[in-house]
Structure 1
């Protein structure tokens, strides 16, 4: 028997993609999309600095799957059914062209997230998706007739033949209670994609300074990342830190976000080779150290590191004391930065955790516990690093749920 009504819970990327494609693919299906807030596609709006990092131009499935700290095997199966070229084609068919940047992130050519929002809203209108804001689902259960009944509060209910939960990531485990009541187990949610707070650290005076490639390690762990690093007024950010926060989400949570980050500002060097390089630099003789930076670091950072090493502005290379050379070597290749807390990256809040993946069919997004119940997006225990990976998971999971929500 064919489903007559699909209810999609969540007005974000995954929810909209599921809703508009379900309505498009299944003639006669009534699709209702419920959003608990008054805003639709809010994360799409702010992502990529307001440009919307739609996806990532990955060369293959394996490359893409390795960018997910949680859910690698799950997304690899799912991407076999709807992958990056499919996303590009889907938007192109609707007049939205995407472009690839040097780091393989993909954006609309307009550089405006509103382009993606408008496309999805137009599709919803075109296929008659009923969008209801300020509509939160408090509970759901099976009726005697086998339908889903959704409790919207204040005595309001809604029946559905199929439901797709695309409600995003919940910060607190208690928010999953209504899904646990259906028999699903939850991986405890903890934050992912966050920046490192370093209150009182003098390096924060360099806010705005960035290094194109630095290595960041977490002391006492195997966690390390290489990539661009940005100094902010509260601490450290940039892709290297954000990727590290994703891979280390659970481990850093157990440390209550108090740990030591070790930075190599010059990853082409290690401690021994840097010591040798500084020794060789003594050959610069009478040149002042503060004005001669041979490691390609931003001048403000270079001067800061020299000052931290106790090297005054008028010191010449030939006069560098052995103790200062040793201190500078350590600051350049293994600077210790005590971290005490985290800050959400812009407004792009991401969690790791969610519905346990063993309980969901990666080929269809249908629950293995409750037929007719589907999941899409961040409600699942899947999260990617920055670069368009979380959106690709949203498009893929939304599309698979849309394809399979009606049983032929």
Structure 2
């Protein structure tokens, strides 16, 4: 377990979201809430009333790499699928912001907090106030994911050193954002060429000198999708994940404990609904797919439990109880150890080794699914080999 210490500008704040870089797995983004009343102390007001996101290298946990700032409270965050130098966040205002970490320090401000000085980066681009209510989100953004297959991320990881500081133009990929009302928007991320440095004069979301912008490409509604799935009653969307090999398939966690499986284009997704055998309804707070193979995904729930699903089965294979002290805001499958996953709550990162927990669960009768399926899964986890 790693404690998330509150110091400097982060004093009085708690973690609300976390995301690993797909190309450099040692890099972790953490999004923080606004500080609790009276806890900001000697933090400048400009910083205290804004949201913060920090970049950590988990191999150097005692030092924050970069501090990012935005209007409102960041509610979710992610990296570019191809470059660890681009960070994104959704906010409680319904906006999406991007930071280009390649920007010179001289483009940003240094703030004095106590005896220390902190370089804090403002967004390169924000949709706040740029898109009207008919084009943007109507509520807080609670999910933000890149639309890319794992093969594309692996190719990008192989050439990451060449693209770390490149400003050659031509960068383009999509992001999907979702608000609590279930509106899903697809954005195209575009790199502005240096010859178009006056772009900020016509695009109010782009900071002067910024080279990254985002443009809305399409949208649709969860409520329309849930009616197609024959679900009665209103439900709120809590989290969103795309399939690692086919981003056309997306998975939506809800406040009713269901996970909806939909396709963006084409026919019907099967199974269309993932459920739980628990009698008590608990919301789905986060999901993550296995980065070593493409048949399994983890689901974090509001009661602190984590479920493991096979994409072909409606019910979980296993359930781990009490993996977090509070409401987990994120579950992350380790990018280097197939049997390990992390849960992030408001103040901690908890590491769980599923090899150890699974033995206990079998003894207690808490593992689900067929014994053959569990045996196949545990063999894959222990060997680190996933082939479907």
Is TM > 0.5 for Structure 1 vs Structure 2? no
TM-score (norm 1): 0.19
Between Structure 1 and Structure 2, whose CA radius of gyration is higher?
Answer: 1
The structure carrying a bigger helix percent of its residues is 1
